[in-house]
Structure 1
């Protein structure tokens, strides 16, 4: 096991495109860190730089205390699990698990021992004599994980390993990866575009966009206090509701003039009031998670909206609303739902209000 340190890592391609720009952070010894972001954000490029599959334009990469910028991938003591299973179809599960060790000249008895251990850990003992064609997608992915596991590397690198699985298998394999990490305590770097995987697996998450790090924190810290509009709207499903308007100071109070005839009285916590007051007379974007809006009796709420769509999904429902031209989504109980076209009245939890500068996208307060 080892920590991984990235110091101002940069990747620039020959055509001038910047794939990764100024990536600086440390992955703790034994930590499971997730790199997440949309397609093309640089997360896989960053993982491949750690693996040695992409050259580093500038900056420094260390695994443990060793600088590895120019060290070949095979000498970095890492193991990588790819999106594709990449299993040898003519080999049994046992042979696939032990093939990497065989190439390194490991003793046969040691290969057999490690294969048995990893097979037991991944519940593959009954499948050791099968070939990949006789395995399900989930079983193949476990073999791919086991092939990396037998090497006892300092660092595991996982590049969207669940994207080829269906929803049920993704959920069960995600649990297996989390269990494996707890059991092994090995440093893991996990790349995904799926925010659910990121939130449920990562001890910390690095959110990337356009090659740059947007925020690094624990899953719930990112969800509860996003640093900017990109993080706020990327994490969370449905995405955060956004309302933009002019801040109007009214004595000690503040209002957000969203549209003609629609003004939202703001009662944020004291720490946020002074920051918001600096925007008096200027535009401000406020954000509210769908679960932080709730229905009220007529005349009791601060907002009213027309129901556009009702989405019951079993244990909860989503209301899609038109609020003076702005789309809002509310998460609520599936019981007693309003009808499409009905006018509903809403209020929100002030302590969960998020404020952003609409020009810079940065959090306010």
Structure 2
């Protein structure tokens, strides 16, 4: 396997559109790193630049210390798994798995050995004689993974490989890919727009928006300490609640909003907020840190509009003036929709953002 280094990698198209704006980060040997962001953020463009399928406008790309900017894709010793399985329908599973090796001139005994090893790893031994039409979606995806696996490449590149699967299959294939990564100790770069995939698979995650890297961190650090408003709103389901207002200090911190005051507690939870007193800010509250109260002093009151029970938890859709909010609670007896609900905050886990540039205060 190999380490990968990106140094100010940039992609500018002939029309002047910037696809990737100066990406710089290292991927450790054996790491599973995820590129995540909304459609058009540049994640697939960046992956294709690493693969050699997109030219690099400027910057330097190294694989295992070797600069590969001008190296052809076939000579980079990488293997790519696409969103489309791209299996040959007239070939058996074994033939699909071994076809790339055959094109590269490998002898048949070597091809057979590698195909059988990949089939065992992916539990496809019983389907080696089948054709793609006779396989389930999950089996086809495993064949696509196996076709990369037999190559024994230095780097695996996966471009939204699970997006064509239903929810249940996506879950099982996420587990499959995580198991495969642990077993192979392979360097993998995985692209997805699905933050759940990113959070559950990635050892580290690169969040992109508009071709610009917003934050690179572990899944839990992204969730607990988002660098800016974009990451705060993108990572987490339901998304973080965001309230804009003026920060005041009146026997404790208060957010003065157009909908009314929100009491934040006596002390700043994570950073010194004194520099932001009497200034406009954006307050971030994760849904699990916004809880209905049965007694005690409420931070504020809101109207309960809709309850969404999803089994092990319930989402409370609330309205605070014109602002919609979501609270996540365990199963319990709750007020009826239309009721006015007292709400408390977990003060130690509040987030404060600069509304001008979106940066988190104390980041």
TM-score using structure 2 length: 0.98
**Worse-matched range after superposition: 74-83 or 317-326:** 317-326
Between 317-326 and 147-156, the greater mean CA deviation after superposition = 317-326
Instruction: Determine if contact 1:18/1:211 at 8 Å carries over to the other structure.
Output: yes
**Corresponding residue for residue 184 of structure 2:** 184
Any stretches of 5+ residues in structure 1 without a counterpart?
Answer: none
Partner of 2:276, secondary structure, is coil
Are residues 263 and 199 of structure 1, via their aligned partners in 2, closer, same or farther at CA, if it must alter by over 3 Å? closer
Q: What secondary structure sits across from 1:30 in the alignment?
A: coil
Separation of aligned partners in 2, 1:167 and 1:261: 40
| Alignment: residue pair count | 362
What is the match of residue 324 of structure 1? 321
Specify the alignment match of 1:293 in structure 2: 290
Q: Secondary structure at the match of 1:111?
A: helix
2:215 aligns with: 215
Which whole-Å CA distance do the structure 2 matches of 1:327 and 1:233 have between them? 14
Corresponding residue number in structure 1 for 2:195:
195
1:347 aligns with 2:349: no
In the alignment, the residues of structure 2 paired with residue 245 and residue 175 of structure 1 have an alpha-carbon distance, to the nearest angstrom, of 42
SS in 2 for 1:321: strand
Match of 1:18 in 2: 18
Q: Which residue of 1 aligns with 2:34?
A: 34
Report SS of the residue matched to 1:233.
helix
* Cα contact 2:101–2:151 (8 A) shared by 1: yes
Question: How far does residue 107 in structure 1 lie from its aligned partner after superposition?
Answer: 1.1
Structure 2 CA distance, aligned partners of 1:74 and 1:262? 61
Task: Give the drift of 1:261.
Answer: 4.3
- Determine the structure 1 residue equivalent to 2:54: 54
Alpha carbons 2:269, 2:349 under 8 Å: kept: no
1:119-130 matched pairs, under 5 angstroms: 119-130=119-130
Return the offset for 1:110: 0.6
Change (3 A) 1:61 1:307: same
Please name the residue that 1:305 is paired with.
Answer: 302
In 2, distance between residues paired with 1:311 and 1:112?
52
Query: 1:277: Cα distance to partner?
Result: 1.5
Q: Kindly state the Cα deviation for residue 266 of structure 1 after the two structures are TM-superposed.
A: 3.5
Q: Residue 92 of structure 2 aligns with which residue?
A: 92
Runs of 4+ in 1 over 6 A off after TM superposition: none
Q: Distance in 2 between matches of 1:195 and 1:138?
A: 20
Instruction: Return the alpha-carbon distance in structure 2 between the equivalents of residues 270 and 92 of structure 1.
Output: 60
1:265 and 1:38 map into 2 onto residues whose CA distance is 32
Distance 2:173 2:130 in 1: 20
Rounded Cα–Cα distance in structure 2 between residues aligned with 1:261 and 1:10: 46
Q: CA deviation at 1:337?
A: 2.1
Task: Determine the C-alpha separation between the residues in 2 that align with 1:260 and 1:131.
Answer: 61
> In the TM superposition, what is the alpha-carbon distance from 1:260 to its structure 2 partner?
5.9
Q: Which residue of 1 aligns with 2:280?
A: 283
**Contact between 2:253 and 2:267, CA under 8 Å: does it hold in 1?**
no
CA contact (8 A) 1:242 1:287 kept: yes
Offset of residue 331 of structure 1: 0.4
Range moving further from structure 2, 216-225 or 291-300: 291-300
Quick one: distance in 2 between partners of 1:250 and 1:339?
33
1:65-101 deviation per Cα after TM superposition (whole angstroms, max 9, x unaligned): 1100000000000000000000000000000000000
Q: Which residue of 1 aligns with 2:140?
A: 140
Per-residue deviation, 1:250: 2.8
Q: CA deviation at 1:262?
A: 2.5
Aligned residue for 2:356, secondary structure, equals coil
Cα distance, 1:181 vs structure 2: 0.3
Task: Provide the rounded CA distance (Å) in 1 between the counterparts of 2:254 and 2:134.
Answer: 64
Q: Distance in 1 between matches of 2:298 and 2:114?
A: 63
Query: Mean alpha-carbon deviation: is it higher for 32-41 or for 262-271?
Result: 262-271
